[in-house]
Amino acid sequence: MPNITIEDLKKIKERVQKQDLFRTGEKRVKITVHMGTCGIASGAKDIMDALLDEVTATGVDDVLVTTSGCIGICSREPLITVEERGSDPIIYEQLTPNKMRQIFRQHILAGKVQTEFVMARGREQDRSGGAS
Amino acid sequence: MKVFRAHILVCGGTGCRATGSEAIRPALVSEVQRRGLAGEVAVVETGCNGFCAAGPIMVIYPEGTFYQKVQVDDVPLIIEEHIIKGRPIERLMYREPSTDRTIPHIRDIPFFGKQMLIALRNRGLIDAEKIDEYIARDGYMAAAQALTQMTPEQVIQEITKSGLRGRGGGGFPTGMKWSFARKAAGDLKYILCNADEGDPGAFMDRSILEADPHAVLEGMIIGGYAIGARQGYIYCRAEYPLAIKRLNIAIAQAREYGLLGENILGSGYGLDIEVYQGAGAFVCGEETALMASIEGRRGMPRPRPPFPAQQGLWGKPSVLNNVETFANVPQIILKGSDWFASIGTKNSKGTKVFALTGAVNNVGLVEVPMGTPIGDIIFDIGGGIPNGKKFKAAQLGGPSGGCIPAAALNTPTDYEEITKLGAIMGSGGLIVMDEDTCMVDTARFFMEFCQEESCGKCTPCREGTKRMLEILNRICSSQGRDGDIELLEELAYSIKDTALCGLGQTAPNPVLSTLRYFREEYEAHIYQKRCPACVCSGMFTTPCQHACPINMDVPAYIALVRAHRLEDAYRVLKRTNPFPAICGRVCPQFCATKCRRGQLDQPLAIAWLKRFITDNAPRPTVRRVPITRKEKIAIVGAGPAGLTAAHDLALRGYAVEVFEELPKPGGMMRYGIPAYRLSREVIDAEIADIAELGVTIHTGIRVGKDISFDDLLSSHDRILLATGAHRSLPLRIPGEDLQGVMGAVEFLRAVNLDKPPAIGKRVVVIGGGNTALDAARTARRLGAEEVRVLYRRERSDMPAWEQEIEAALAEGVLIDCMVSPVCCEGSGDKVTQIICQRMQAAEFDSSGRRRSVPIPGSEYALAADLVISAVSQSTDISFVPETAGIATAIQGTICCRPQNSTRTSHERVYAAGDAVLGPATVVEAIAAGHQAARDIDEDIRNYNREPPWQEKDIEKIDIPFEVDEETISRPRIAMPELPVRERTRSFAEVELGYDRDSAWREACRCQRCDGNQGKG
Same domain? For B180 and B324 the reply is yes
Could you report the per-residue pLDDT of B420-431, keeping only the tens digit for each?
Answer: 999 999 889 999
> Which residues are CB-neighbours of B294 under 8 A, at least 6 positions away?
B192, B233, B235, B276, B313
Mean pLDDT of B37-57: 77
Residues B127, A12: C-beta atoms closer than 8 Å: no
Closest to B544 in 3D by CA, of B499, B454, B634, B605: B605
The answer on B857 and B934 residing in a single domain is no
Nearest CA in chain B to A48: B1
Could you give the residue ranges of the DSSP H alpha helices within B364-501?
A: 374-376, 415-420, 439-453, 459-475, 484-498
pLDDT of residue A129: 39
Residue from the list A20, A53, A54 with its beta carbon closest to the beta carbon of B136 = A20
- Please state the φ and ψ torsions of residue B434, each to the nearest 5 degrees: -105, -175
Question: At CA B965, angle to CA B961 and CA B538, rounded to 5?
Answer: 55
Q: Are B790 and B765 in contact (CB under 8 A)?
A: yes
Output DSSP code: residue B284.
Answer: G
Q: How far is CA B913 from CA B527, B630, B656, in A?
A: 22, 26, 18
| Banded model confidence at residue B940, pLDDT cuts 50, 70, 90 | very high
CB neighbourhood size of B863 (10 A): 13
Residue A127 domain-assigned (yes or no) = no
| Amino acid at the residue B74 | D
pLDDT (tens digit per residue) in B752-763: 999 999 999 999
Nearest CA in chain A to B136: A13
Q: Look at residue A125 and tell me whether its pLDDT is greater than 70.
A: no
Residues in chain B with CB shorter than 8 Å from the CB of A102 are 61-64
Q: Of A3, A29, A17, whose CA–CA distance to A81 is shortest?
A: A29
Tens-digit pLDDT profile for residues B558-582: 999 999 999 999 999 999 999 999 9
How sure is the predictor about B40, in pLDDT bands with cuts at 50, 70 and 90?
confident
B240 lies in the same domain as B304? yes
User: Is the C-alpha dihedral spanning B789, B794, B797, B803 positive or negative?
Assistant: positive
8 Å CB contact between B669 and B922 = yes
φ, ψ (nearest 5 deg) of residue B839:
-115, 160
Which domain does A73 fall in, by range?
29-121
Q: Number of Cβ pairs closer than 8 Å across A and B?
A: 197
Terminal Cα-to-Cα distance of chain B (whole angstroms): 48
Say if A126 falls within a structural domain. no
**Is B644 in a helix, a strand, or coil?**
helix
In a domain, A5, yes or no: no
Residue B446 inside a domain? The answer is: yes
* pLDDT given for residue B48 in this prediction: 66
Between positions 43 and 62 of B, the ones with CB within 8 A of A are 59, 61-62
Question: B335 vs A131: CB contact, 8 Å cut-off?
Answer: yes
- CA B495 to CA B461: how far, in whole Å? 6
In a domain, B501, yes or no: yes
| Beta bridge partner(s), residue B707 | B703
Is residue B443 included in any domain, yes or no?
yes
Nearest C-alpha neighbor of B369 from the set B171, B113, B195: B113
In a domain, B801, yes or no: yes
Per-residue pLDDT, B161 = 97
pLDDT above 60 for B214? yes
State the pLDDT at residue B924: 97
Handedness of CA B629, B632, B634, B638 (dihedral sign): positive
Q: Is the pLDDT of residue B491 over 60?
A: yes
Nearest by Cα to B423 from B508, B358, B324: B508
Under an 8 A CB cutoff, do A68 and B211 touch? yes
b/e sequence B551-587, b meaning 16+ C-beta within 10 Å: ebbbbbbbbbbbbebbebbbbbbbbbbbbbbbbbbbb
B308, B320 contact by CB (below 8 A): yes
Task: Specify whether the CB–CB gap between B790 and B821 falls below 8 A.
Answer: yes
Domain limit, last residue, from B435, B460, B479 = B435
Distance CA B73, CA B27 (A): 9
Domain end among B290, B322, B340 = B340
pLDDT band for position B451 (cuts 50, 70, 90): very high
- The mean pLDDT of B252-267, rounded to a whole number, is 95
Cβ-defined contacts of A59-64 (< 8 Å, 24+): A60/A108, A60/A109, A62/A26, A62/A27, A62/A28, A62/A29, A63/A27, A63/A28, A63/A29, A63/A30, A63/A31, A63/A108, A64/A22, A64/A27, A64/A29, A64/A30, A64/A31
Final residue belonging to a domain, choices B831, B857, B874: B874
Would you say the C-alpha torsion B252, B258, B261, B267 has a positive or negative sign? negative
- Pairwise CA distance, residues B536 & B631, whole Å: 42
At B340-352, the pLDDT tens digits run: 999 999 999 999 9
- B206 CB within 8 Å of a chain A CB: yes
Q: How far apart are CA B226 and CA B651, in angstroms?
A: 84
In this predicted structure, what is the pLDDT of residue A127?
44
Question: Which residue type, as a one-letter code, is found at position B644?
Answer: T
Q: Is B225 exposed, middle or buried (0-12, 13-18, 19+ CB in 10 A)?
A: buried
Q: Does B300 touch chain A (CB under 8 A)?
A: no
Q: State the Cα–Cα distance between residues B846 and B407, nearest whole angstrom.
A: 4
Q: Which residues of B touch A74 (CB under 8 A)?
A: 363-365
Cβ-Cβ contacts under 8 Å for B174 (sequence gap 6 or more): B159, B160, B164, B165, B166, B321, B325, B329
Inter-residue contact B381 to B110 (CB < 8 Å): yes
Is B261 in contact with A3 (Cβ distance < 8 A)? yes
Cβ–Cβ < 8 Å for B668, B690: no
Q: Same domain, yes or no, for B613 and B637?
A: no
User: Given A57, A76, A106, which is nearest B64 (Cβ)?
Assistant: A106
Contact map slice: B 66-105 vs A, CB within 8 A: 99, 101, 103-105
Q: Is residue A81 part of a domain?
A: yes
Instruction: Check pLDDT > 90 for residue B22.
Output: no
CATH (domain of B579): 1.10.1060.10
Task: Kindly list the strands in the beta sheet with B718-721, ordered across the sheet, starting from the edge strand earlier in the chain.
Answer: B696-698, B655-659, B632-636, B718-721, B909-911
Query: How many domains is chain B partitioned into structurally?
Result: 7
What's phi and psi for B856, nearest 5 deg? -60, 140
3-class secondary-structure state, position A91: strand
Q: Is B252 on the interface with A (CB under 8 A)?
A: no
pLDDT for the residue numbered B103: 77
What confidence category does residue B1 fall into, taking pLDDT thresholds of 50, 70 and 90? very low
**CATH code for the domain of A91:** 3.40.30.10
Residue in B62, B203, B364 nearest the CB of A73: B364
Please indicate whether residue B832 or residue B89 has the higher confidence score (pLDDT).
Answer: B832
Q: Give the mean pLDDT of B502-510.
A: 93
CB contact under 8 A, A102 and B366: no
> Which residues on A lie below 8 Å from B109 (Cβ)?
119-120
Q: Are B353 and B428 in contact (CB under 8 A)?
A: yes
Q: List the CATH number of the domain containing B403.
A: 3.10.20.600
Judged by phi (left if over 0) then psi (alpha if -120 to 50, else beta), residue B350 lies in left
CB of B960 within 8 A of CB of B1016? yes
Cα B405-B408-B410 angle, rounded to 5 deg:
140
Instruction: Give the residue from B888, B678, B644, B716 showing the smallest Cα distance to B804.
Output: B678
Residue B742: CB partners within 8 Å, gap ≥ 6?
B728, B757, B866, B867, B868, B869
Question: Residue type at B987?
Answer: F
Q: Which residues of B230-250 are buried (b: 16+ CB within 10 A; e: fewer)?
A: ebbbbbbbeebebbbbbbebb
Q: For position B574, what pLDDT does the model report?
A: 95
Read off the amino acid at residue B56.
P
By Cβ distance, the residue of B105, B129, B364 closest to A72 is: B364
- Please provide the distance, in angstroms rounded to a whole number, between the alpha carbons at the two ends of chain A: 28
Alpha carbon separation from B252 to A3, A16, B256, B257, B398 (Å, rounded): 13, 19, 6, 9, 34
Residue A23 lies in a domain: no
A30: chain B residues, CB-CB within 8 Å: none
Residue to substitute from A34, A49, A70, interface B, most B β-carbons within 10 A: A70
Residue B1010 lies in a domain: no
Interface test with B, best of A19, A21, A75, A132 (most B CBs within 10 A): A75
User: What does the alpha-carbon distance between residue B319 and residue A113 come to, in Å, rounded to a whole number?
Assistant: 50
Percent of chain B with pLDDT strictly greater than 70: 98
Helix, strand and coil in chain B, % to nearest 5? 40, 15, 40
- pLDDT in the model for residue B99: 47
- pLDDT tens readout for residues B477-489: 999 999 999 999 9
B984-997 per-position pLDDT tens digit: 889 999 999 999 99
**Which residues, 6 or more positions from B982, have their beta carbon under 8 angstroms from its beta carbon?**
B988
The DSSP secondary structure of B328-396, one letter per residue, reads: HHHHHHHH-HHHHHTSB-SSSBSEEEEEEEES-SS-EEEEEETT-BHHHIIIIIS---GGGPPEEEEEE
Model pLDDT, residue A132: 35
Asked if residue B648 belongs to a domain, the reply is: yes
Residue B198 sits in the same domain as residue B322: yes
pLDDT band at A20 (very low <50, low <70, confident <90, very high): low
In a domain, B99, yes or no: no
Give the 3-state secondary structure of B95-152.
Answer: CCCCCCCCCCEHHHCHHHHCCCCCCCCCCCCCCCCCHHHHHHCCCCHHHHHHHHHCCH
Which helix (H) or strand (E) segment is B840 a member of?
A: strand B830-844
Residue A20 lies in a domain: no
CATH code (residue B304): 3.40.50.11540
Contact B688, B579 (CB under 8 A): no
Does B1015 have pLDDT greater than 70? no
Across the interface, which of A4, A40, A91 has its CB nearest the CB of B106? A91
Q: Do the Cβ atoms of B217 and B254 come closer than 8 Å?
A: yes
Q: Which domain holds residue B669?
A: 632-726+875-944
B280 lies in the same domain as B298: yes
User: In one letter, which amino acid is B254?
Assistant: A
Mean pLDDT of chain B: 92
pLDDT tens, residue by residue, B902-915: 999 999 999 999 99
Minimum-distance CB partner of B106 among A16, A57, A120: A120
| Nearest by Cα to B275 from B208, B213, B326, B228 | B213
pLDDT tier for residue B891 given thresholds of 50, 70 and 90: confident
Say if A19 falls within a structural domain.
no
Nearest chain B Cα distance for residue A116, angstroms? 8
The pLDDT, as a whole number, for residue B939 is 96
B685-739, pLDDT tens digit by residue?
999 999 999 999 999 999 999 999 999 999 999 999 999 999 999 999 999 999 9
Work out the number of other CB atoms within 10 angstroms of the CB of residue A8.
15
Report the domain count for chain A: 1
Same domain as B870, residue B811: yes
